[in-house]
Structure 1
Amino acid sequence: MEKWFNVGKIVNTQGIKGEVRVISKTDFPEKRYKVGNVLYLFMPNSNTPIELTVKSHRTHKNFEILSFEGFHNINEVEKFRDGIIKVPESQLGVLEDDEFYYHEIIGCLVSTTEEEEIGKVTEILSPGANDVWVVKGKDGKEVLIPYIHDVVKKVDVKEKTIIIDPMEGLLS
């Protein structure tokens, strides 16, 4: 049975030429939405995916704007609203060293180099230059950990552990 991973949600149309607005949930939008890539659209109340091939991609404000081959106007893509875009596990591909998929990081236990347990990664934010990992501690407080080499020292996705060397003030 194929495992599927969410890469975005179609929230609206964009213009009249068949483009859609996507709130992206993917780790690598530049790779995932590349022209020619095949994505799979899952609509609410349907288990049968619609296969879509990316015709164009651009970023506008906080949205990824996509068009698909064979869909040329707003009337043809309006029905895609609220659909979830997914890719099969077989399409994930090999990553460089120090690159990880979100699903590999979420759930990892974060500790310091001094072996102090901080908590588990619950979410990943992509505000700009680097990702920020949201770590929820035992006390329920959230700590934001920037994914930069000065802080994140070791990631073991098999063991689901992350070792960090927190900068001064990061954990307070």
Structure 2
Amino acid sequence: MVEYLEVGKIVNTQGIKGEVRVMSLTDAPEERYHKGAKLTVFLKDQEPIELTVASHRKHKNFDLLSFEGYPSINDVEVFRDSILMVPKTELSKVNEDEYYYYEIIGLSIYEENGEKLGEVKEILSPGANDVWVIQRQGKADALIPFISSVVKKIDLENQKAYVEIPEGLLDDEN
């Protein structure tokens, strides 16, 4: 069974020439959406359809894509609100100390003293560095910057990461 990862969501059509507006969920849109790239669209209650990208351009906060064999708005209307995915096997290798979001989301986060802080439920990308949203038991979510001075070790095999929380980072500390 092939495992897939989300790379975008088709949120609407764009114009009449078969373009769709995609809210990108990938950190490498140039790699995922280049002409000739293969994407799989998952529609509700239907078999997945493999699409070949015919064109890609940026417009505001969206990626606009067209697909080979789908030249008009009528052809792509059915794709609205569907998810674009790629097989996990097509992911490119990342450098050491780089990770895909799917590898980080769900990790248990421990402070250096061994106390469990919570689990990564989401990753935000506000600018210079990513921010992990840590869901904590009985407390508000914690926001932890993904920087080497805070995230000390990531152990994907055991689904754990170890962090050193600077004083004042967590607003519920006394």
Measure, in 1, the Cα distance between the counterparts of 2:159 and 2:120: 10
- Preserved CA contact (<8 Å) 1:27 1:102: no
The aligned residue for residue 110 of structure 2 is 111
- What's the secondary structure of 2:31's corresponding residue? helix
Report matched runs for 1:40-119 at 5 Å.
40-46=40-46, 48-119=47-118
Change (3 A) 1:71 1:130: farther
The aligned residue for residue 132 of structure 1 is 131
Cα deviation for residue 81 of structure 1 reads 0.6
Instruction: Give per-residue Cα distances to partners, 1:114-153, cap 9 Å, x unaligned.
Output: 3332110011122333222110112242011122223222
Measure, in 2, the Cα distance between the counterparts of 1:17 and 1:129: 37
AA of the residue aligned to 1:130: N
Coordinate RMSD, CA, aligned: 1.9
Measure, in 1, the Cα distance between the counterparts of 2:168 and 2:133: 16
Measure, in 1, the Cα distance between the counterparts of 2:88 and 2:12: 26
Aligned-pair identity in percent equals 54
- Preserved CA contact (<8 Å) 1:13 1:20: yes
Unaligned runs of 5+ in 1: none
Task: Normalising by structure 1, report the TM-score.
Answer: 0.88
The aligned residue for residue 142 of structure 2 is 143
Unaligned runs of 5+ in 2: none
Cα deviation for residue 11 of structure 1 reads 0.9
Change (3 A) 1:15 1:124: same
Cα deviation for residue 160 of structure 1 reads 0.8
Change (3 A) 1:58 1:130: farther
Task: Normalising by structure 2, report the TM-score.
Answer: 0.87
AA of the residue aligned to 2:20: V
Moved over 6 A (4+): none
- What's the secondary structure of 1:118's corresponding residue? strand
Question: Is it true that 1:30 corresponds to 2:30 in the alignment?
Answer: yes
Instruction: Give per-residue Cα distances to partners, 1:57-79, cap 9 Å, x unaligned.
Output: 23333322222223233222122
Cα deviation for residue 109 of structure 1 reads 0.9
Change (3 A) 1:62 1:137: same
Change (3 A) 1:17 1:168: farther
Measure, in 2, the Cα distance between the counterparts of 1:30 and 1:130: 20
AA of the residue aligned to 2:95: E
Cα deviation for residue 2 of structure 1 reads 1.1
Change (3 A) 1:111 1:124: same
The aligned residue for residue 19 of structure 2 is 19
Measure, in 2, the Cα distance between the counterparts of 1:113 and 1:29: 36
